[in-house]
Amino acid sequence: MSEGSSASRDSRPEEKLPGQNPPEEDVHAWYQRGMELLGNGSPAAAAQVLQRAATAEPSSRSVREALARAQFDAGWYAASADSFRLIVEASPSDDYAHFGLGLALARTGNHAAAAEYLALAAAMRPDNAHYTGALRQVRATLQARAVDGARSHKPAKAGQEEEGE
C-alpha cells in the first residue's frame, strides 16, 4: 500500500502501543477514579488505579501523594513510605510528605527514622497538632523500648538463677 494523504488514512482509532505515553486525559481520569475509590473506602483499589497514573506521570506530585495515601490506608506501609520518600526527595520542603513518610515508617516499625521525618514536619509546621502529636507518640515508643531494652539486659542479682539454668 502506498503512502497517501490523510484523507485515505484508516478511520479506526489509533492503537496505543506498549511504551507509549497515555493521553493526559487518561492520567487525569485514573487520578479522579483513584481519588473517588479512596474517598469511598477502597484504598487497595485506589492504589492500583493511582499506580497506573503514577507510572504514566512519575513527576506528578498530586498523583504520587494520592498513591502514597492509598497505599497507607490499604496497610501497604513500606510501599507508602517509598512513595512519600519520592516526594520528599523531589520537594524537601513538603511538610505533608515528611509527615506521611514518618507515619509510614512508624507503621513498618522503624521508629527512629520515623521520628526524624516527623520532627522535620513538626518543625516546618509547629502549629499542626497532627504532626506534633505523631512525633510525641513515636518518641514515647522509642523511649519505652529503650527502657524495656535496658530492663531485659540487666544482669541477674547475686544468688538468683537465670531462667533456663
In tens, the pLDDT along 115-152 reads 999 999 999 999 999 999 999 999 999 999 988 777 77
- What is the pLDDT at residue 6? 41
58/27 Cα distance (integer angstroms): 11
- pLDDT 10s digits, 27-37: 999 999 999 99
- What is the pLDDT at residue 148? 78
- Once rounded to an integer, what is the mean pLDDT over residues 6-13? 41
- What is the pLDDT at residue 80? 98
Grid coordinates given for 84? 512519600
The answer to whether residues 37 and 74 touch, using CB atoms and an 8 Å cutoff, is: no
Q: Which CB contacts under 8 angstroms, 24+ apart, belong to 42-47?
A: 43/69, 43/70, 43/71, 43/72, 43/73, 43/74, 44/70, 44/74, 46/70, 46/73, 46/74, 47/71, 47/74, 47/76, 47/79
Instruction: Check whether 20 has a pLDDT greater than 90.
Output: no
- What is the pLDDT at residue 34? 96
DSSP conformation class of 160? P
Instruction: Check whether 58 has a pLDDT greater than 90.
Output: yes
What's the half-sphere exposure (Cβ side, CA atoms, 13 Å) at 17?
0
Does the pTM exceed 0.85?
no
What's the half-sphere exposure (Cβ side, CA atoms, 13 Å) at 15?
3
- pLDDT 10s digits, 69-100: 999 999 999 999 999 999 999 999 999 999 99
